[in-house]
Structure 1
């Protein structure tokens, strides 16, 4: 096991009322963090039958999120941080246009972008985009497959039930080869495992209980090997909620032993000056 801690990414809900995203990114870089990840919601329907997964009322920040790709391009221009989404709602996009956006972002950032994707919990939000929520998993799978074809192939082509592409040229290609890494954020149910093994490069999962998480990682890696996936992986990115300093250090030491790709520090619920939390976390991680 290496003595180097796993890379630390910051999951930041950037809004029109929060610390400006470039100021946040500079603060993260100055304190030694490795990446900034942004979420995505195109809008929030006023009337929704979809309960907020966190319980209770929907926090105000969900109504005010920035477009992640535009915001991440500004971060890439101002810092050397790695960038990514956590998570992007790719079912809500035209996949041909989104493939161009992501390829351009990876190209101009020098290969620093990773795509965390999710299926989306807000059914009316997806429905406003003309998508059938009952088919959202299949839509996500096909959109990712079509985008990969555009990222990898000189003449790309794809034909599915929810997306189609006639033989086409598209540049720039992502700097990262064979393509941008795509990680699925989901619960590690049997269906979630099957989805990750079937088409994703890795998993973004909640790591509130590290014993449970360690077992999930072992199971996922075993299934990856059984499926004879030729790629090194799966990439593993645990998400940690706001914790005290001792818990943070112990968590990083345990996750280092699990060989995770990146630890995602979820800052979305921080109130007040977020730089205070960055200072505390940076000092705690420096002790490692």
Structure 2
């Protein structure tokens, strides 16, 4: 029996897309996706295993890193197999319930990853701005509680998504515009009133942008603190600890911000570009 048993869905199958106009090259696109998928699985599992088994890594920064690795692992498992199915076998169909479940996990793990990046930026700011009190402010118990709270909030944040989609009727269009299911993509196919979905989607987008603003402020404060360090060697040492974090933030947020800006500033951009940007956010391990 379906988990969502109050269905109004009249369409039995949604159809995802590969790269429009490049169907002949899908098999070649699948090769790097498969490679990235394996790297993401092996890399994140290795990180989680090492942090769990090595007592020397039981520190705040590594607890936050394990949260980031877990969310990235979840994102890869939620999205990349569907892409591989499309690019390898041209199997584009997906049932509504499977689609709603996928968008729940994708949005949930994305919220979790955004939370991890936010916490890590604050962690680095405290470590650089007030290193003497760092261990007293971020004790192991407090860090674990912070991680659990943000994981719970991420789950609660996306729980409404499948249910507010389930209340909609889908009776005409069934072609999605990505290689995986997203709330904002699915709701546009509805032939019933989707205002609740639009409002909650806007709230979710604004929350994501707020997290990005907080992350940016944290790194600007870090930069200000670093510039106040007299020693050139000291400045480089501090900056080196933040470079990997900044790269993770860019890999996660640049595709999202670009996709959000395209309809406003580049309305005539090719669908191929949209799909590549959207898919690439899952191709690279964070």
**With structure 1 as the length reference, what TM-score do the two structures score?**
0.25
Going by fraction, where is strand more abundant, 1 or 2?
A: 1
**Greater relative contact order (Cα < 8 A, sep 6+):** 2
Going by fraction, where is helix more abundant, 1 or 2?
A: 2
**Bigger Rg, which one:** 2
